[in-house]
Chain A
Amino acid sequence: MESILIQAIVSGILLGLIYGLIGMGMNIIYGVMRVVNFAHGEFMMLAAYICYWLNRQYATNPLHSLIIIVPLFFGLGFLVYYLFVPRLLNSEDPEMASFLVFFGISLVLSSLILIIWGADPRGIPFPFKRVSVSIGEFFFPLGRLIAGGFCGIVILLLILLLFKTYLGKAIRAIIQNREAVSILGIDTHLLSAFSFGIGLLLVGLAGGLVILSFPAITPMMGSSYTLVAFVVVILGGLGTPLGALLGGFIFGLAENIGAVFMPTSLSPVIAFVLLITMILIRPQGILGEG
Chain B
Amino acid sequence: MSILSAKNIVVSYYGDISVLRDVSMEAKEGEITIIIGPNGAGKSTLLKTLYGLLRPKKGSIIYEGKDITGLKVHEFMKLGLAYVPQSRTVFPDLTVMENLELGSWILRHDKKKVNEALDYVFSFFPILDEKKNDKAKTLSGGQQKMLEVGRALLTKPKVLLLDEPTATLAPMLAKEIYSFLVRLRDEKTTIVLVDQNVRQAFEIANYIYVLELGENSTQGSKKEFEGKLKEVIKDWLNYDESH
Flag if B76 contacts A185 (CB, 8 Å). Answer: yes
Within 8 Å by CB of B102, from A179, A181, A187, A188, lies A181
Flag if B74 contacts A182 (CB, 8 Å). Answer: yes
Of B74, B78, B151, most A-chain CB atoms within 10 Å: B74
User: Chain B residues with Cβ under 8 A from A172's Cβ?
Assistant: 91, 93-94, 98
Closest chain A CB from B83 CB (angstroms):
5
Q: How far is the CA of A173 from the CA of B102 in the complex (A)?
A: 8
Given contacts A169-B102, A170-B105, A181-B102, contact A187 B74 (CB under 8 A): yes
| A273 interface hit (Cβ, 8 Å) | no
Within 8 Å by CB of B89, from A180, A187, A188, lies A180
Flag if A184 contacts B103 (CB, 8 Å). Answer: yes
Residue of B nearest to A185 (CB): B77
Residue interface mask A167-198, B partner, CB < 8 A = 1: 00110110011011111111110000000000
Given contacts A180-B89, A180-B91, A185-B155, contact A166 B108 (CB under 8 A): yes
Q: Is the interface of A mostly helix, strand, loop or mixed?
A: helix
Please tell me the size bucket of the interface on B: 20 to 34
Q: How far is the CA of A179 from the CA of B78 in the complex (A)?
A: 17
| B73 interface hit (Cβ, 8 Å) | yes
Of B90, B98, B151, most A-chain CB atoms within 10 Å: B98
Given contacts A173-B102, A186-B102, contact A179 B91 (CB under 8 A): no
Flag if B89 contacts A179 (CB, 8 Å). Answer: yes
Flag if A173 contacts B91 (CB, 8 Å). Answer: yes
| B63 interface hit (Cβ, 8 Å) | no
Closest chain B CB from A167 CB (angstroms):
9
Flag if A185 contacts B101 (CB, 8 Å). Answer: no
Flag if B102 contacts A183 (CB, 8 Å). Answer: no
| B113 interface hit (Cβ, 8 Å) | no
Given contacts A181-B102, A187-B74, contact A173 B53 (CB under 8 A): no
Given contacts A169-B98, A170-B105, contact A188 B74 (CB under 8 A): yes
Q: How far is the CA of A180 from the CA of B144 in the complex (A)?
A: 14
Flag if B89 contacts A177 (CB, 8 Å). Answer: yes
Residue of A nearest to B84 (CB): A183
Closest chain B CB from A237 CB (angstroms):
12
Chain B residues with CB under 8 Å of chain A are: 51, 53, 72-78, 83, 85, 89-94, 98-99, 101-103, 105-106, 108, 151, 155
